[in-house]
Amino acid sequence: AIAIQVVDDEQGTVLEEETVDGKTGDAIRYPSQDVITRYVAKGYELVHNDLETPQYIRVDSPRVYQIRFKERVVSFEQSSLFPEVGSPVYPEMEDSVLWPEGSGEESLHKVVKRTIYFLYEDGSYALPLTEQVAHFYRRAQVHLATGTVLYGPWRSELEDFASVEAPKLSGYIAKPRLVPQWHHLSPAQEDRVETIVYTKMIQKLVLNFVDESQSGSILESIQLVGRSGDAIHYRPDPKIAELLKA
pLDDT per position as a tens digit, 130-168: 999 999 999 999 999 999 999 999 999 999 999 999 999
Categorise residue 194: left if φ over 0, alpha if ψ from -120 to 50, beta otherwise.
Answer: beta
Residue 104 has pLDDT above 70, yes or no: yes
In the prediction, which pLDDT does 154 show?
Answer: 95
Average pLDDT over residues 81-94: 93
Instruction: Please name the amino acid found at residue 87.
Output: S
**For the range 208-211, what are the long-range contacts, defined as Cβ-Cβ under 8 Å and sequence gap of 24 or more?**
209/236, 209/239, 209/240, 209/243
Q: What sign results for the dihedral spanned by CA atoms 27, 28, 32, 35? A: positive
In the prediction, which pLDDT does 156 show?
Answer: 94
Residue 79: pLDDT band by 50, 70, 90 thresholds?
Answer: low
pTM of the model: 0.73
Residue 78 has pLDDT above 80, yes or no: no
Residue 226 has pLDDT above 90, yes or no: no
In the prediction, which pLDDT does 151 show?
Answer: 96
